[in-house]
Chain A
Amino acid sequence: MVLTAITVAVAYYDLGPLNTIVALSIAVTKATLVILYFMHVRYSPSLTKLVVAGSFLWLFILLSITMSDYVSRGW
C-alpha cells in the first residue's frame, strides 16, 4: 500500500516539464510496480513470471529490430 502511494505521487511529478528519458523511466518504474504488486507477479509461480518476461522479450525484439533498421537507413 505504501508503494501504491508512491506510484500516485510519481504520477504528479510527471506533470512537470520533464524530458523524454525521465518521463519514460518513470513510466517503466510505474509499470514495473503495477506488474509486481497489483498483478501479484512477484508472489506468483515461476511459470507465470516466465510468461510475463517472455511477453516483454518479444516486445523488445519487435521494437529493437525494427528501429535498428529505421535509424541505420541512409535517407
Chain B
Amino acid sequence: MSDTPSAAHPAHLAHHFDTVEQQRESSSLWMLVFLSQEVMFFGGLFLAYLVYRSSYPAAFAEASHHLDVVLGGINTVILIASSLTMALAVYCAQTGKRNLLVMFLLATMLLGLAFLGIKAVEYHHKYVDKLIPGVAFSYPGPNAQHAQLFFSLYFAMTGMHALHMVIGFGLLIWLVNDARKGRFTPEYHSHIEIFGLYWHFVDIVWIFLFPLLYLIGLHGVPGGGH
C-alpha cells in the first residue's frame, strides 16, 4: 500500500486505520477511556467529601451557608450553556459550517471565561471572610474545625475543576486558531469532537459539585445550628 493520498485513503486518515469512520470512533473511544480515569480521579474527591459529610452533617450544612448560592447557580447555567454551544460547535464541524464553528467555539470560550471570573469573585469573598483553610482561617460558628474540613474540600474540588476549565480554555484557543484556518472538514474534525467530550465531562463534574457544595445547607438540617 502506498502512502500517497487517494479517495480510498485520504491524507487525514492515519495509515493504521482502514476507514475514516473507524479512525473517528477510535479517537472518541480513547478520549472516553481517558475521561473514565478522570471519573475515578474526581471520584476520590467525591468519596472524601461523602465520608466527612456523613461524619459531620451539621457542620457541613452550616458551612455550606457561607457559599453564594446565586453565584453558584449562575455559574451552573453558564456552564450548561457553554456545553450547549460546544455541542453546536461539534455539529457545525460535522456539517462543515466553518464560520459558525469559529463563532460557537468563541462563545464557549467566553462562557468558560465568565465561569472562571465568577469563580474568582467567589474565591475572593472567601479570602475576605477568612474562610480559606490554613493559619488565617477564622470561622464565626461552632464546629470550626469540621467547617474547615468542608472548606478544604470545597477548594480542592472546585480548584481542580477550575484547573480543568483553564486547561480547556487553553485548548480552545488552539482549536479556534485551527478552525479559522479551515483545518476541520466534515470528514476530519476529531479534535473538535474529543474536545467536546472533555468539555462536557467538566460540565458534568460541576453538575454534581453544585448541589453537593452549595445546596446542602438550604433546607433545615436537624441540629444544623440555625
Contact = CB atoms under 8 A, between A and B. Distances in A.
A38 B35 CA distance: 15
B43 A51 contact: no
Given A23-B211, A34-B200, A55 B51 contact: no
A62 B40 CA distance: 8
A11 B40 CA distance: 25
Contacts, number: 113
A2 to B, nearest CB: 12
Nearest to A58: B40
The binding surface of chain B is classed by DSSP as helix
Interface residues of A, number: 40
B211 A15 contact: no
Contacts of B197: 39
Interface string A41-72: 00011011001101110110011001100110
A17 interface: yes
Which of B70, B87, B200, B207: most chain A Cβ within 10 A?
Answer: B207
Kindly list the 5 A-B residue pairs having the minimum CB-CB distance in the complex, ordered from nearest: A55-B36, A23-B211, A17-B218, A55-B39, A38-B87
14 contacts: A4-B80, A8-B84, A11-B80, A12-B73, A14-B211, A20-B216, A27-B210, A39-B196, A51-B32, A55-B35, A56-B39, A63-B47, A66-B51, A70-B55
